[in-house]
Structure 1
Amino acid sequence: MQDFLSQGTKVGILINPEKHRVEIYRLGEEVVILGDGDILSVPDLLPGWEVAVSDLWPLEF
């Protein structure tokens, strides 16, 4: 992810469905880690857009 950021990517989002975790990367900043119960939003790229992290995973019956 750091390679992408060093080449000009503004934000990197790594979605890990096995751990139900989302990591948000920005150059020169600490990684933000989100889990179920959190809301994923990237206002600097997608103003007004957000999604519950738990909605990223398939339903379990």
Structure 2
Amino acid sequence: MQEYIENGVSLGWLIDRKNRTVYVYRPNQEVQILENPEQVSGEPELPGFRLLMAKIW
């Protein structure tokens, strides 16, 4: 995922379905780890976008 960020991606989600964990990658920030979230927000890069995780898990 770090390679994508280094090449200009402004937001990356790595979804670990087995452990119900989402890793949120953004340039110049620490990786944010969300454990069993109900939804994941795309703010501010994707205004108004929310991914409902019940459909993923």
Q: What interval of TM-score do these two structures reach, taking the shorter chain for normalisation? A: 0.7 to 0.9
Q: Report how far residue 38 of structure 1 moved.
A: 4.6
Q: Match for 2:27: what amino acid?
A: L
1:20-39 alignment, distance < 5 Å: 20-39=20-39
Sequence identity (%): 32
Structure possessing the higher radius of gyration over alpha carbons: 1
Equivalent in the alignment of 1:42: 42
Q: Which runs of 5+ in 2 are unaligned?
A: none
Q: Which moved more, 1:29-38 or 1:18-27?
A: 29-38
Q: How many residues align?
A: 56
What is the CA RMSD across the aligned residues, in angstroms? 1.5
TM (normalized to structure 2)?
0.80
TM (normalized to structure 1)?
0.75
Structure 1's 13 and 28: CA in aligned 2 closer, same or farther, altered over 3 A? same
> Which 4+ stretches in 1 moved above 2 angstroms?
none
Q: What is the rounded CA distance, in whole Å, between the counterparts of 1:22 and 1:42 in structure 2? A: 12
Q: Which runs of 5+ in 1 are unaligned?
A: none
